[in-house]
A and B are shown apart, each in its own frame.
Chain A
Amino acid sequence: MSAATGLETPVKPPSPASHRVYGPSALGGGVERFWALTFMLARTEFKLRFFGSIFGYLWTLVRPLLFFGVLLFVFTKLLHVGSGTVPHYPEYLLESIILFTYFQETTSGCVPSLVGRENLLRKVRFPRLVVPLSVALLSLFNLGMNLIVVFLFILGAGIAPTWSWLELPVLVALLVILSTGVGMLLSAMYVRFRDVQPIWEVIAQILWYASPILYTVQSAAKHHLLGLSFSRILVINPIGAIITQARKALLQPSAPSASRAIGGDLRLLIPFAITAGIFALGLWYFNREAPLISERL
C-alpha cells in the first residue's frame, strides 16, 4: 500500500493484472473473509439478541429447561408415559429436546435471514452463503452451551462417562449438515416465496412429533404402517436416527442403536442419504439463486 505523505511523489505499486468482475455468488472472496464475515454476523446477532435483557444469555439455557420441566411433568406425572418403562427418561427427554432445538433454531432462523439482512445484501459484495451459515453458527454455539447442561444432568443421574460419548461430535456434525442444508434451501426460497415461513412452522411442528423425542423408538415398535414397524419409519427420519443413536451412546448402552432400530447397517444409508441429499439440494439451490438475491429482495 503506497502511503504518500505531503508533497513527495506518490510511489505507485506495480499494476496488478486486471480481472473480471462477476456478480454476487454464494461462495467466493477467500476462506479468511468468508469466516470473518460469518463469525462477525453471528457475533452481532448474539449481542443484539440479548440486548436489554437482564439475564441475557441465561435465557438460552433456561428456556429449553423450562420447556423440559413442563413436558416431564405432563408425561411422567399426568400421562405416565416415560417413567418406569423407559430408563433415564428425564435425561433422554432433555437431550432430545436440546438436539431438536438446534435443528429448529437453525432452520427457522435461516428462513428470514436473507430478507432481514437486506441492507447488507444490497450494498456490499460478499459471499451470500455467509448469512445462513452465521445463523447455523450461532445456534451451534447455543447447542454447545446447552449440551453442558445436559451433561450435568447425565452425571447427576449417576451415569458414568463412557468412550461411546465420543460419538456425540459425529452425531452433532450430521445434525449440523442436515440443519444447514434445510436452512440454505429455505432462506433462498423465502426471498421469492414468503409463504415459506408459515409452511415451515407447521412442518417443524410435525417433525417434532414425528421424531422420537417424547417417546422412544422401542415404544413405537408395536405400531405398524404399510406393513413397516413404526420404529423403522422413525429412524428413516435423520433426526430420529441421530436422537436414537445419541441415547445409546450417552445414556444407556443397552438401548437399541440406530442401526438395530432400522434393521441393519445397510438400511442406515437411508437417513444418511436423506441428510446428504438435503444438504446438496440446499447448496445447489442457494448457489443458483445467490446472484439474484440482492435484486429480488
Chain B
Amino acid sequence: MSKTFRLPHQQYSTLKERALHPFRSTTYDELHAVKDVSIEIAEGEFFGIVGRNGSGKSTLLKCVAGIYGVDKGRISIAGRLSPFIELGVGFNPDLNARDNVIINAIMLGLSRKQATERFDRVVAFAELEGFMDLRLKNYSSGMLVRLAFATAIQVEAEILLIDEVLAVGDAAFQQKCFEEFFRLKREGRTIVFVSHDMYSVERFCDRAMLMEHGNMVQIGDPRTIGRAYHELNFGQLAHDAPDESHSASGTAIADAWFENDLGERITSAAQEDRMSMCFEAHLGEDLVEPVFAVTLRTELGHTILVARSDQHGHSSGSFKSGESVIARFALPNWLTPSRYLLTPSLAREGTGESALALVADMASVMVHGTGSGGILELPIDVALERL
C-alpha cells in the first residue's frame, strides 16, 4: 500500500559552466546543487521543501521530474507523475488562449483528445469564459496565471510536483486554489511542494524538509521546519563561506575595522555619528568586477545589515593579482546601543556566489547612546495633529 520515492543517496548536478573566452573555455565552476539527499515520501503525503534561493530545492524537484539526470544515486517513483514544475509551460503570447491550453495540457502529459475533453472544465475553473479567443499577450498577468493553474490542475496525475506556484491571482481565486489543493490531498494524491512561503507550507504539508547549500538540514513537522527556516534567514551573511576549491588562489582578508569620520580606527561609536565599516583584502588572482561586501551582525548572530560594492549597479573595476584593496562602507550610525560584529567578504561577480575570502565576525564596535528598545534608532519626525 505504500508509494515510495527513493531519492538519491548521492547526487550532484554540475549546472554552471562559464566560458570566459570562446577559445579558452576550460574554466568551469562546479555547483553541487544537491548533495547526498536521501528521502522517502509515502503515498498520499503532502511534502514540503523549503530553503533559501539556491539551496537546491528546485534542482531536486527537477531531478525527480526527470528534467535533469542525477550524477549519483537513484530516484524511484510509483505512479504517474505530472511534470508540473512551473505554470504555463509552452505558453505562447501570440496564440489564443484555446490553443495555449491544449498545448500546455499536452506538454503536461495529456493526449490531444483528453485535452480537448477537459477544455471546458479548464475554462470554468479559470473563470475566463469569453476570453478564450483572445491572444495571450492581451491577458493580464492575473488572468494568465489563472489559466495556467486551471490547466495544470486538470492533469490528473498521481504524483504532483509543484514549484512556487501557490498564491496566484486575487484573494478569491487563491481561496479556490487552496480548496483544490485540499481536494487533491483528500483524494490521496502525493504532492511534493517547493516554496519560500512558510505560511502555505505549514497550512498544507504533512511533513517538510529544509535545504541549505544542497544539503538536507532538517526534516520533520512543518512548524518546526518553518522555525528553522526563519532562524536560518536571520543569520544570513552577504556571501557563503568559501569553497575549499577557492582557497588555493591566495585571496585573503588581511584586516577589518571600524573608522570614524576622521579616518581613525574606533572600537566604540556614538549614536548618530558617521562611521565606516572597512576591510583590507589581498588579491591572489586577477578579478573583474569582484564584489566586496560586509555583513553587520549582533552577538546573537542576527543580521542587521548587508552592504555590497555592487549595490545599485556600482562597478568595482578590474584588479590584478597581488594588489591590496581597502573597501570602506560609510553610514550614519543609527544602531541601538549594543555590540556589533563585522564580517567582511570578497566574491566574484554575481549574486549567490560563494566568497573567495570571508572572515566571520572579524571586527567589533560598541555603540553607545540611548536605546528606544528597537534595533534601529532612525531619525524620526513626530507629528501630532489635533482634530
Residue contact A124 to B85, C-beta cutoff 8 Å? yes
Which stretch of A15-23, A79-87, A92-100 is in the interface? A15-23
Chain B residues lying within 8 Å of A33, measured Cβ to Cβ, are 109, 111
Is B66 in contact with A47, judged by CB distance below 8 angstroms?
A: no
Contact A21 B64, beta carbon cutoff 8 Å = yes
Chain A residues lying within 8 Å of B13, measured Cβ to Cβ, are: 295
18 intermolecular pairs with C-beta atoms under 8 Å apart? A15-B2, A17-B78, A18-B3, A19-B76, A21-B65, A21-B66, A22-B66, A32-B111, A36-B111, A40-B102, A40-B107, A52-B94, A119-B90, A120-B107, A121-B67, A124-B67, A126-B83, A294-B67
5 nearest interchain CB pairs? A23-B69, A18-B78, A125-B66, A21-B75, A291-B69
Compute how far the CA of A119 lies from the CA of B6 in the bound complex, rounded to whole angstroms: 28
**Chain B: minimal CB distance from A291 (Å):** 5
Of A3, A16, A125, the contact of B83 (CB 8 Å cutoff): A125
The 8 Å CB contact of B3, one of A15, A37, A40, A119, is A15
Q: Is the CB of A21 within 8 A of B76?
A: yes
A19-B78, A22-B69, A125-B65 given; A12·B188 CB < 8 A: yes
CB distance from A142 to the nearest CB of B (A): 20
Q: Kindly state whether residue A1 has any CB partner on chain B within 8 Å.
A: yes
Q: CB-defined interface of A1-45 with B at 8 Å, one 1/0 digit per residue?
A: 111100000101101111111111000000011001101100010
Q: Which residue of A lies closest to B75 (CB)?
A: A21
Known contacts A22-B69, A125-B65, A51 near B74 by CB under 8 Å? no
Contact, CB under 8 Å: B95 / A47: yes
Q: With A and B bound together, what is the CA distance between A34 and B77 in angstroms? A: 21
Assuming A21-B64, A44-B90, A44-B103, what are 15 further A-B pairs, CB within 8 angstroms?
A4-B187, A16-B158, A18-B76, A21-B66, A23-B66, A24-B68, A24-B69, A36-B111, A36-B112, A47-B95, A119-B90, A121-B67, A123-B83, A124-B67, A295-B14
Note all chain B residues with C-beta closer than 8 A to A22: 66, 69
Q: Does B86 contact A (CB under 8 A)?
A: yes
B15 within 8 A of A: yes
**Is B186 part of the contact surface with A, judged by Cβ < 8 Å?**
yes
Given contacts A15-B43, A21-B64, A21-B66, contact A123 B85 (CB under 8 A): yes
Tell yes or no: B89 within 8 A of A by CB: yes
A44-78 interface code vs B (CB 8 A; 1 in, 0 out): 10011001100000000000000000000000000
B residues bordering A, Cβ < 8 Å? Answer: 1-4, 6, 13-15, 17, 43-44, 63-70, 74-81, 83, 85-86, 89-90, 92, 94-95, 99, 102-103, 106-109, 111-112, 156, 158, 186-188
Number of chain A residues close to chain B: CB under 8 A: 41
CB neighbours of A1 from chain B (8 A)? 156
Measured in the bound complex, the distance between the Cα atoms of B199 and A258 in whole Å is: 72
Q: What is the CA–CA distance of A32 and B109 in the complex, to the nearest angstrom?
A: 11
Docked pose: A64 CA to B75 CA in angstroms: 51
A122 at the interface (CB under 8 A from B): yes
Chain A residue at smallest Cβ distance from B64: A21
How does the 8 Å CB contact mask read for A278-297 relative to B, with 1 for contact and 0 for none? 00000000000001101110
Residues of B close to A48: CB separation below 8 A: 92, 94-95
Known A-B contacts A36-B111, A48-B95, A123-B86; A23 and B3 likewise in contact (beta carbons under 8 Å): no
Minimum CB–CB distance for B184 against chain A, Å: 10
Report whether B89 and A123 are in contact in the complex, using a CB–CB cutoff of 8 Å: yes
With both chains docked as a complex, state the minimum distance between the C-beta of B206 and any C-beta of chain A, in angstroms.
Answer: 15
Contacts of B75 in A (CB 8 A): 20-21
Contacts of B78 in A (CB 8 A): 15-19
Chain B residues with CB under 8 Å of A37's CB are 106-107
B76/A122 in contact, CB under 8 A? no
CB atoms of A20 and B67 under 8 A apart: no
For B91, the closest partner residue in chain A by CB is A119
CA–CA, A120 and B106, complex, Å = 12
What residues on B are CB-neighbors of A13 within 8 Å?
158
* Nearest opposing residue in chain A for B107, CB measure: A124
Bound CA span A2–B64, Å: 24
| Mask of A241-275 contacts with B, CB within 8 angstroms, 1/0 | 00000000000000000000000000000000000
Q: Are A21 and B67 within 8 A (Cβ)?
A: no
Q: Chain A residues with Cβ under 8 A from B70's Cβ?
A: 23
Chain B residues lying within 8 Å of A51, measured Cβ to Cβ, are 94-95
A15 touching B67, Cβ below 8 Å: no
